[in-house]
Amino acid sequence: MELGLTEEQSEKIMEMNKESLDQAAIRFSVENALIKHKAKNIKAVSALIDFSKISGGEDGISGIEEQIEKLKNTSETAFLFDSGEGCVKGAHAEEGKDRGKPKNFRNMTYTEMCKYSNSI
């Protein structure tokens, strides 16, 4: 099946497709690296990546890790990555206080009722 293209035109189209695929591979590699480094917002952090410093070749893609480490270790951008420290895992109820179910006022003295109503 012939498309009516010259050899030169078909080579140019093939080259454009290869460039497009290479750029997609670099973007994919950057996103994977950001996920690996626990970036909180992939889109925001990838906007800070200088893609001109990233190169792809037969050995893989280089230049990503250095930039991510720089972003993680800079005070202005370190908050964009999850460090795993200081996370609140859950809250524990106060010991000895049962605020879940209401008390039975019939069995309380007047002083107990006052204390209970002030603690709510």
Strand-pairing partners, residue 57, are: 60
Provide the terminal-to-terminal Cα distance of the chain, rounded to the nearest Å.
Answer: 82
pLDDT at 19: 83
* pLDDT confidence band for 98 (50 / 70 / 90): low
The range of the structural domain enclosing residue 70 comes to: 7-80
Output phi, psi for 43, to 5 deg: -65, -45
What CA–CA distances, in Å, run from 40 to 49, 63, 92? Answer: 15, 21, 26
**Would you say residue 66 lies in a domain?**
yes
Q: Tell me if 104 is assigned to some domain.
A: no
Residue 37 lies in a domain: yes
> What pLDDT was estimated at residue 1?
46
Are 49 and 67 in contact, with CB atoms under 8 Å apart? yes
pLDDT category at 92 given cuts 50, 70, 90 is low
Average pLDDT over residues 74-99: 70
The span from the CA of 24 to the CA of 64, in Å, is 14
The overall average pLDDT reported for the chain is 81
For 59, phi and psi rounded to 5 degrees? -85, -5
Q: How many domains does the chain have?
A: 1
pLDDT at position 24 is 87
Mean pLDDT over 48-66 rounds to 84
